[in-house]
Structure 1
Amino acid sequence: MPLATVTAAAGAVRTLLRLEEGNEAALVERAAGVALGLAESFCGQMLVARVVEDSLAGRAAWQALSALPVQTILTDGEGAIDRDGRGWFRTAEDATIHYRAGLAQDWASLPPEIAHGVAIMGAHLFDNRDAAAVPPAAVAALWRPWRRMRLDGPRRA
């Protein structure tokens, strides 16, 4: 996760908690980073765009790239991006594929529901750092529309 994204998320957590700048900054930043990771795991996609590297074995068939949603494939060759943001690449030899994936370019361009859910989750983690507590149901409700799930593996037509 880009450091600028974690810092911006920490600012949103700090605002929600009504903490002053610098007050327990390391804990807030850690909680924000964990909340961002939880959001990516829950949603099943990268939230903020960054460059990803996949190693693919040489095959005649199309192979799915691991991260979603793919914005652009940076490696020259036979690549494609389908309407769902799944990246595909075909290579006859073993290759390392570089591509850019993510839902938004930065924290500011994230959908507000995701960003607010991250702030709520970060505040929850900060407030409950010494005890196990059930995460707020509102977080799942905010993230659920952005969740990507598959029951089978990706297939290219």
Structure 2
Amino acid sequence: MLSLDPLGLDSAMLDEARAFLRVDGPDEDPSLGAALLAAIAHAEHFTRTVLIRRPARETLCARSGWHRLHLAPVVSVTGVTGVTLEGARVPLDPDAWQKEPGSQDEAYVRILHGGTANQVEFACIAGLSESWAELPESLRLGLLRLTAHFHSHRDAPQDAGPPAAVRALLMPWRRMRVD
């Protein structure tokens, strides 16, 4: 199971979206902000990449061997907790597990001593960029175009989906995953 902390909307994101969509004033900010956050979530799902750095958690079975975290890119592991069948949560010592980086900024983890835990939760900081402003230009443009699409088609149930240009801008950032 994978969970990301919600991404907060900052003024730089909203200002750039407002300028891109040529929206004057804050009247449209709630719907524009919702469209922007939906665009980021959609792009993260499509690319399999956490775009803007934030806390996240991933739960794995506590079995031996190396396991790849689906979170990517992982900046740091901030805590590891074992979870028993009864639901008790026990922090694991640093010598009870290992982490190795992969070649594509993914993280591989291995449980050495899980104790009575049948699952292990990894608390991490994950994300490609520290902030909206540090995202690569092609990603930001893809997100802005997707935001524009979501915003302008918010009441169109027969909408055919995002434009092909959005897919083209996001595709180079897509991580392949073979599980």
Determine if the TM-score, normalized by the shorter chain, exceeds 0.5. Answer: yes
- Structure 1 stretches lacking a partner, 5+ long: none
Find out whether 1:144 has 2:171 as its counterpart.
yes
**Paired residue type of 2:31:** L
Which residue of the other structure, out of 36, 40, 51, is the alignment partner of 2:55? 51
Find out whether 1:66 has 2:32 as its counterpart.
no
Q: Deviations over 1:81-118 (max 9, x none)?
A: 11211212211313321111111111011111111111
Normalised by the length of structure 1, the TM-score is 0.86
Aligned residues: 151
2:31 is aligned to 27
Distance 1:97 1:134 in 2: 35
1:14 is aligned to 18
Distance 2:71 2:128 in 1: 11
Moved over 4 A (4+): none
**Paired residue type of 1:90:** R
Alpha-carbon distance, 1:133 to partner? 4.0
Distance 2:101 2:42 in 1: 26
Secondary structure of 1:78's partner?
strand
Distance 1:23 1:44 in 2: 33
Report if aligned partners of 2:9, 2:37 keep a CA contact under 8 Å in 1.
no
Percent identity of equivalent pairs: 30
Report if aligned partners of 2:49, 2:127 keep a CA contact under 8 Å in 1.
yes
Report if aligned partners of 1:68, 1:101 keep a CA contact under 8 Å in 2.
yes
Which residue of the other structure, out of 96, 108, 117, is the alignment partner of 2:142? 117
Alpha-carbon distance, 1:74 to partner? 2.1
Distance 1:34 1:69 in 2: 20
Instruction: Write 1 or 2 for the structure with the bigger share of strand.
Output: 2
1:4 is aligned to 9
CA RMSD of aligned residues (A): 1.7
1:84 is aligned to 104
Normalised by the length of structure 2, the TM-score is 0.77
Secondary structure of 1:52's partner?
strand
2:90 is aligned to none
Distance 2:165 2:129 in 1: 22
**Paired residue type of 1:39:** A
Larger radius of gyration: 2
- Structure 2 stretches lacking a partner, 5+ long: 1-5, 80-93
